[in-house]
Structure 1
Amino acid sequence: MCMEERSERRYGAALDHLRAAQKPSAGTPLYSRLVNRPLGRRFAAAAYVLGATPDGVTLVSAVCTFSGIALIALVPPVWWLGVLVSALLILGYALDSADGQLARLRGGGSVQGEWLDHTVDAAKVLTIHAAILISVFRFFELPAGWLLIPLAYLVVDSLLFFGMMERDLLLARAAGGRAPASEASTGVLRAILILPSDYGLFCLLFLLLGAPLLYFGVYALMLVCNTIFLLLALVKWYRQLGAHGR
């Protein structure tokens, strides 16, 4: 059997293993469920065949993501920039899914790898809205007050990320170190309703960058949706932690 055939077999076996060991889709927005996880699964299987490490995949994901973020701040908004930024962010997001799947495929990840993954995610949340703020200030013909929208979005996304990470940490500690149980609801309707909170949809938003006012209007609408989602999530998480505390 030639090397190419062996690689194909290893890739197919890795893909089958990842499909069987896929994390539950409960609470996962539609894009992440239908597009990002399957795409990340393929990247993880390919990385496994190539002998890559989860940390290496995380770093490649970071390069793609932060290259796209830098372009937002540095280049005037035109249609081709939107396509390029969206492609880089989507690729970075898929690789962000792949690193964890690769870790499971290799027998489990490390504490260092999990820390690196979450640190990159936190940096992404902070810098992407800062880049949008810079872009609006430099290239958009809007009153200065509109700059508050990226600032507000940065606060909302940061609170959402921190609140979710802290909730998972506290629930795991209450459960003796075990990961928190998945949510019961896995319906497609719920996945659609929480779609505005999906980072994958946010990546696709940049396809509108060539029409700056339309892009910024949809961005502002997503801020409203995510603010509502954050408020509902904070109430839910507070009640969850209270129940475990009792």
Structure 2
Amino acid sequence: MSQSPPASHSPSADQSPRPSQASSISELVAALSSAQKPAAGTPAYSRFINRRLGRYLAAAAYKLGATPNQVSAASALCSFAGIAVIALAWPTFNVAVLVTLLLVLGYALDSADGQVARLRGGGSPVGEWLDHMIDCTKIATLHLAVLVGLFRFGWFKSDLVLLIPMMYVVVGSVTFFGLILMEQLRRNNAAAKPNPRGESVLKSLLIAPSDYGVLCLVFITLAWPTVFVTLYGLLMAVNLLLLVAAVTKWWRELTSLGATSELPPQTPPEVSARG
């Protein structure tokens, strides 16, 4: 999973005039490229590959008249189909290729939904909600599918290998929640400073292991259990270290804000009429 906040098609999307559906794919791709979000803090795969794939898919979807939510649904369909295959199908080479293609396509469509919203002149709250809900579910179920596959197919004598996907699902979920929460806290606290991020290519490469796209590519080795588990385990370990570093940074940032008086008041939960 990427260390940058998940892409969304929120109401704050670019409000530039809508291009005509009669525009060519190349014209639409060029328009999206000129309005692309900053690359700051974006891991290498998402920055150099996935966004580009997403632009072409978004251009095609726009010409077909698809809405951002329909593209989100297509992304979910591809991703969850790939996740189901991981848990249910014996991991042959053909299965590994199928899983990788489904996950990569699902991720590219995840980038495309926000870009379709940009072409249409803006997104919606329900679109942003749907996008984040799909991402959250995908992060958890992918690692649970690996856990099920490792258990079902009995590749390894020791059950300790099952701890790897169990730890990965925790790391992925906590990282996702932390990114979303920090984004909201910065937005709601007047004393918070914008998160400084450089656009260094070197930084994008260094944080590449945190990229969901890199994780998708690892599944091409699914037919070779030892290779797959080694690469998968290494990614988990690196992501754990990145999470520790991120939590430390977030803690220092929030501590420096001092009192939380700038945060919006919390509405007490409603009391059920039934008591």
TM-score (norm 1): 0.92
1:219 matched residue in structure 2: 232
Partner secondary structure for residue 62 of structure 1: helix
* Contact map agreement 1:132 1:150 (CA 8 A) in 2: yes
Q: Deviations over 1:9-59 (max 9, x none)?
A: 343332222111100000111111110001101111111111110000000
- What one-letter code is carried by the residue in structure 1 that aligns with 2:170? V
User: Is the helix fraction higher in 1 or 2?
Assistant: 1
* Contact map agreement 1:171 1:244 (CA 8 A) in 2: no
* C-alpha distance 113-144 of structure 1, shift in aligned 2 (>3 A): same
2:220 matched residue in structure 1: 207
1:146, CA displacement in angstroms?
1.4
Cα RMSD for the two superposed structures = 1.8
Return the alpha-carbon distance in structure 2 between the equivalents of residues 156 and 26 of structure 1.
Answer: 23
Q: Choose which of 72, 93, 99 in structure 2 pairs with 1:58.
A: 72
1:81 paired with 2:95, answer yes
- Name which of structure 1's ranges 235-244 and 105-114 shifts more when overlaid on structure 2: 235-244
- What one-letter code is carried by the residue in structure 1 that aligns with 2:199? T
* Contact map agreement 1:54 1:100 (CA 8 A) in 2: yes
Q: Choose which of 186, 203, 217 in structure 2 pairs with 1:171.
A: 186
1:30 paired with 2:44, answer yes
Partner secondary structure for residue 83 of structure 1: helix
Partner secondary structure for residue 17 of structure 1: helix
2:248 matched residue in structure 1: 235
* C-alpha distance 222-8 of structure 1, shift in aligned 2 (>3 A): same
1:136 matched residue in structure 2: 150
Q: Deviations over 1:62-81 (max 9, x none)?
A: 00000000000001111111
* Contact map agreement 1:24 1:182 (CA 8 A) in 2: no
* C-alpha distance 102-87 of structure 1, shift in aligned 2 (>3 A): same
Partner secondary structure for residue 9 of structure 1: coil
Partner secondary structure for residue 27 of structure 1: coil
1:145 matched residue in structure 2: 160
1:213, CA displacement in angstroms?
1.1
**What 5-or-longer segments of structure 2 have no aligned partner?**
1-19, 260-275
1:3 matched residue in structure 2: none
Return the alpha-carbon distance in structure 1 between the equivalents of residues 176 and 227 of structure 2.
Answer: 27
* Contact map agreement 1:57 1:98 (CA 8 A) in 2: yes
Q: Choose which of 177, 197, 205 in structure 2 pairs with 1:162.
A: 177
Q: Choose which of 119, 122, 126 in structure 2 pairs with 1:105.
A: 119
Partner secondary structure for residue 28 of structure 1: coil
1:129, CA displacement in angstroms?
0.5
Q: What is the aligned-residue identity percentage?
A: 48
* Contact map agreement 1:31 1:198 (CA 8 A) in 2: yes
- What one-letter code is carried by the residue in structure 2 that aligns with 1:109? G
1:8, CA displacement in angstroms?
6.5
Return the alpha-carbon distance in structure 2 between the equivalents of residues 183 and 52 of structure 1.
Answer: 35
1:198 matched residue in structure 2: 211
- What one-letter code is carried by the residue in structure 2 that aligns with 1:116? L
Return the alpha-carbon distance in structure 1 between the equivalents of residues 168 and 50 of structure 2.
Answer: 23
- What one-letter code is carried by the residue in structure 1 that aligns with 2:189? A
Q: Choose which of 30, 35, 52 in structure 2 pairs with 1:21.
A: 35
* Contact map agreement 1:36 1:97 (CA 8 A) in 2: yes
* C-alpha distance 193-105 of structure 1, shift in aligned 2 (>3 A): same
Return the alpha-carbon distance in structure 1 between the equivalents of residues 258 and 142 of structure 2.
Answer: 35
2:17 matched residue in structure 1: none
TM-score (norm 2): 0.82
2:199 matched residue in structure 1: 186
Partner secondary structure for residue 23 of structure 2: helix
